[in-house]
A and B are shown apart, each in its own frame.
Chain A
Amino acid sequence: MHHDQERAAQQPPEHLESVTIRFAGDSGDGMQLVGMELAKASARQGNDLATLPNYPAEIRAPAGSLSGVSGFQLQFGARRVYTPGDKPEVLVVMSPAALKVNLGELRPAGMIIANRDGFSDRALGLAGYSSNPLTDGSLAGYAVHAIDLGTLAETALDGLGLAHKEVARCKNYVALGLLFRMYDRAPEPELASIRARFAKKNPLFGEANARAFRAGFDYAENTETLPRYHVPPASIRPGRYRHVTGNQATALGLTAAAHLAGLRLYLGSYPISPATEILHELALLRQHRVIAFQTEDEIAAVTSCIGASFGGALAATNTSGPGLALMSEGLSLAVMLELPLVVVDVQRGGPSTGLPTKTEQADLLFAVHGRHAESPLPVLAAATPADCFEMTIEASRIALKYMTPVLLLTDGFLALSAEPWRIPEPAELPRLKVSLRTDPKGFAPYLRDPKTLARPWAVPGTPGLEHRIGGLEKDFVTGAISYDPVNHERMVEVRARKIAGIADDIAPLEVQGKPEGELLVLGWGSTYGAICAAVGAARAAGKRVSQAHLRHLNPLPRNTGEVLRRFRRVLVPENNAGQLGRLLREELLVDTVGLDVVQARPLKVGEIAEKIEELLQP
């Protein structure tokens, strides 16, 4: 009885299907960190989720300035979560600049949790506010919770002997504690994890951040004004999970592919946003016999891969648009030499330096066509951060089996956003069969496997197989220099046929929903999540719309034309000016309707939903 009374005094938390929260502050405010911590806690409690950080291109923009605002968005839910969310429902801001930059994205009547201490006259001035939005009534349409996070930190850390600056740095943990309570997350694992994180470096900071976290948690517990929510666990396939960003999954996938093939992994790499993290990750894996080599430029990145591949390694390089342009000549040599090589292009806004930290899908046609002369190679694209793992293995499989360079497209969105990844059992992964040629009897460098049309891989050090190959056109069989006109045409034809034939060795295009009808939404790459969410919602509302997603772009799955022709209309949402649409028309003579968004940001679920609606109008 008494027990019930006590419970009645506390409002029961409101159940939510999903929520999208954005953290924003100065680059140094630690917003990425608390965002990721909340994501991990949500995963621990069984939610599905997706996250996306948003960094400025500048490393240390002036504190308090609009250009220095960095953010982190996550969506977690009791159902399948496909994207980090379109517009946040909750905005956590540490400064006026963070508010100004992000307010336009907040949903109508959304919640703002503001660090009131951060709204000093100076900070307001830097952000270009003439009056304080927290008090001048301009935020009347939102649920504003102005909380002195800095003061809470100061009180909680009193007596620890930390400098003022160090105390101020803990306010992100106050915010984290607050949100833990608001969203019904258990604080204990987080407290342990905070202490563990700082245990080696400085246990005092661990204690300070733990106290700051606790202060935020307690504040939310004791105040009556903050609402409380419960997001129940989602139904998720059982297994062991970890968070991966697309870049992490790519690095893991390359290393796994090398293990599966029994080869050494060589990465030749030149730093470029947003691809560099792949180099960072692989540089840590020396015990896996990975050689991650920072080259002098992208030309050396790809050409050193050609050397490593000639020597029998699984060679890979990672880059973004401008770097891929520099690699173009080297890729043509790899096409000519017919050596395996994996190139991961983490696409970003362009052309030129463009928007180096932002996402775009505008390298598709360059990937497919961007080399001089008749220079075909397979092009693949990953659909989600975790899919980068699978697709790097697939890219490696094709490269090794067909002795060809392979281009894998990811993008800035996939690279940086994270999602829970079910860690596969080694037995679930494909074995990558590699047979190096050792028998000199009947050996000729370009004598092909009749089925795959792959030439033999004969690596230096093998007695009796000494041979010379190069960029000059080669004799069809011996690989010796040949200027014979008919031989050249035959070589061009066989190189093209080899790549085209891969269509028989990849999964057919699968349709989600009815296999024919009014409308198919066809995507490629990172638009997958937004399309799934939009199509899922439309179907739940009784709309007749199906969905398919391309992971192989050259060659296309054999049944692509057939699938597309079974629908009256095909909608292709893309982060470019309609490149897949053009490719499909060129390859299949199928016209599509484009939804082209070139704003260097991921497509929104709402945009796709609207377009579906429009196309289904009678």
Chain B
Amino acid sequence: MSDTNPTPNLPPLTRKEFESGQSVRWCPGCGSFSVLAQVQKTLPTLGVPREKFVFVSGIGCSSRFPYYLNTYGLHTIHGRAPAIATGLKLTRPELEVWVATGDGDALSIGGNHLIHALRRNVGLKIILFNNRIYGMTKGQSSPTSVLGQKTKSAPFGNIDLPLSPLSLALGAEATFVARSIDAEPKHLGEMLERVARHRGTALLEVFQNCVVFNDKAFGGLLDKDTKADRQLVLEHGKPMLFGKERSKGLRFSPRTFTPEVVELGRDGITEAALLVHDERATSPGLAFMLAGLTPPDFPTPLGVLRAVERPVYEQVVHENERIAVETQGLGSLESLLGAGESWEVR
């Protein structure tokens, strides 16, 4: 029996208990299946009763997510999930409120709500399924579609500069920013657990393959022969090493103070010259640098870019309420009606 389970008289929850029984309607081969499987695997390990979980989503393929989990769930309107989840978390801080969203949902129509949830540091766990395409409306450009990507709405190639969700989140002072990929279930599971344990807003970007409209968008990251060279798997306190032989690394160029890839052993470069990952750094500078790394010049960082502590919004709200009640007494109908300047008419 798990020692973290608060209901010791009951057997611990299993993955099965988090399956809703509703038939899953994603396309065969969709990357979202992997995320669902890892979430169903992670939730029972958290020692939280099932009825305390609420999954809120917007619109899009990924936003069907709540239907497939046997928890409380709200499938809402396009882009608004962070706002809806905020209202719920403020009034019910004891609930575990998760948000399932996509690149169009979170970054296009819902960009405003996302940045404000992040800056406030509301205790929401946000999984951003990034497939760099609008799937549900059948193949238009999304805010993360890459330059030149041919889509139904940009048949001659996308000319809109893609957004980096992680840079955006860091710009909004997010306290937890991480990235994983659907086809690395172990890594994804680890990241989900980190998300679950974070206090404040946690944003996890999941590179997710859309088999129908943007297949193999992340293919290079996963190809057996090249993945070691293309993934930079971040670990707190460890030097930023990558490559098949773990012979490549990342450092700041002493001349331009910009990141550069170096070969260990060449020009006398040793591991000591490499950047050491610090997800807890107060300054978001290092995380910003990592969020900006894109192929082909750089490997793609996976893992936790930033995990820092800041007052959690709903806790501040409830602490202020506690103080108000302590100093003024708990408000009642009588005290409400009796307040203010009044006079008697006889």
Which residues of A come within 8 Å of B, CB atoms? Answer: 40, 43-44, 46, 236-243, 252, 255-256, 259-260, 264, 266, 268, 285-289, 291, 293, 295-297, 299-300, 303-313, 315, 329-330, 333, 337, 422-424, 426, 429, 459-472, 480-481
Considering only residues 34-63 of chain B, those with a C-beta below 8 Å from chain A are 49-57, 59
B321 x A43 contact (CB < 8 A): no
| Across-interface contacts of A306 in B (CB, < 8 A) | 74, 76, 84, 87
B76 partner residues in chain A, CB cutoff 8 A: 303, 306, 333, 470-471
Total residues of chain B contacting the partner, CB 8 A: 62
Let me know if B88 is at the binding interface, CB within 8 A: yes
Complex CA–CA separation, A461 to B48 (angstroms) = 11
On whether A461 and B95 interact (CB within 8 A), knowing A259-B332, A310-B88, A466-B72, the answer reads yes
A461:B66 contact, CB within 8 angstroms: no
- Segment 56-101 of B: residues with Cβ below 8 Å from A: 56-57, 59, 66-67, 69-77, 80, 83-92, 94-95
Q: Are A256 and B333 in contact (CB under 8 A)?
A: yes
Closest to A465 in B: B51
Measured between alpha carbons, how far is A461 from B97 in the docked complex, in Å? 11
Closest CB-CB distance, B166 to chain A, in whole Å?
A: 21
Flag if B75 contacts A471 (CB, 8 Å): yes
In the bound assembly, the distance between CA atoms of A337 and B56 in angstroms comes to 13
**Closest residue of chain B to A252, judged by CB?**
B336
7 A-B residue pairs with Cβ-Cβ distance under 8 Å, sorted by A, are A291-B321, A295-B83, A296-B113, A299-B112, A461-B94, A468-B73, A471-B77
Contact present for B83 and A299 (CB under 8 Å) = yes
Shortest C-beta distance, A388 to chain B (Å), equals 15
Closest to A297 in B: B112
Chain B contacts for A264, CB-based, 8 A: 91
Please state if B91 and A287 are interface contacts (CB–CB under 8 Å): no
Residue B266 lies at the interface, judged by CB distance under 8 Å to chain A: no
Instruction: Name the one of A259, A299, A459 contacting B336, with C-beta atoms under 8 angstroms.
Output: A259
Q: Which of A239, A289, A315 contacts B325 (CB 8 A)?
A: A289
Contact, CB under 8 Å: B334 / A426: yes
User: Which of chain B's residues have a CB closer than 8 A to the CB of A291?
Assistant: 90-91, 317, 321
Contact of B331 among A285, A293, A310, A429 (CB under 8 A): A285
- Bound CA span A337–B84, Å: 13
A45 (CB) vs chain B CBs: closest residue: B343
Check B331–A315 contact: CB distance below 8 A. Answer: no
Nearest opposing residue in chain B for A46, CB measure: B345
| Chain B residues within CB distance 8 Å of chain A | 20, 22, 49-57, 59, 66-67, 69-77, 80, 83-92, 94-95, 112-113, 116, 317, 320-321, 324-325, 327-334, 336-338, 340-346
In the complex with contacts A285-B331, A333-B76, A461-B92, A423-B337 CB distance below 8 A: yes
Q: Do A300 and B343 touch across chains, with their CB atoms under 8 A apart?
A: no
B51 adjacent to A462 (CB under 8 Å)? yes
Cα distance, A291 to B321, chains bound together (Å): 8
* Contacting pair A259 B87 (CB below 8 A): no
- Establish whether residues B86 and A460, one from each chain, have CB atoms under 8 Å apart when the complex forms: no
Chain A residues whose CB sits within 8 angstroms of the CB of B116 once the complex forms = 295-296, 300
**Given the known A-B contacts A305-B87, A307-B56, A471-B77, are A312 and B71 also in contact in the complex, defined by CB atoms under 8 Å?**
no
Known: A242-B343, A306-B74. 6 other contacts (CB 8 A): A242-B340, A286-B324, A287-B329, A296-B112, A460-B92, A468-B73
Assembled-state Cα–Cα distance A422/B331 (Å): 20
| B18 smallest CB distance to A (angstroms) | 10
Closest B residue by C-beta to A425: B337
Q: Which of B75, B112, B340 lies in contact with A468, CB distance below 8 A?
A: B75
- Complex CA gap A608/B4 in Å reads 72
Residue of B nearest to A337 (CB): B74
Contacts of A243 in B (CB 8 A): 341
B345 CB contact (under 8 Å) in A237, A308, A315: A237
Please tell me if the beta carbons of B52 and A460 are within 8 angstroms of each other in the complex.
yes
A240–B342 Cα distance when bound, in Å, is 7
User: In angstroms, how far is the closest chain A Cβ from the Cβ of B70?
Assistant: 6
Q: How far is the CA of A469 from the CA of B76 in the complex (A)?
A: 8
Residues of B within 8 A of A299 (CB): 80, 83, 112-113
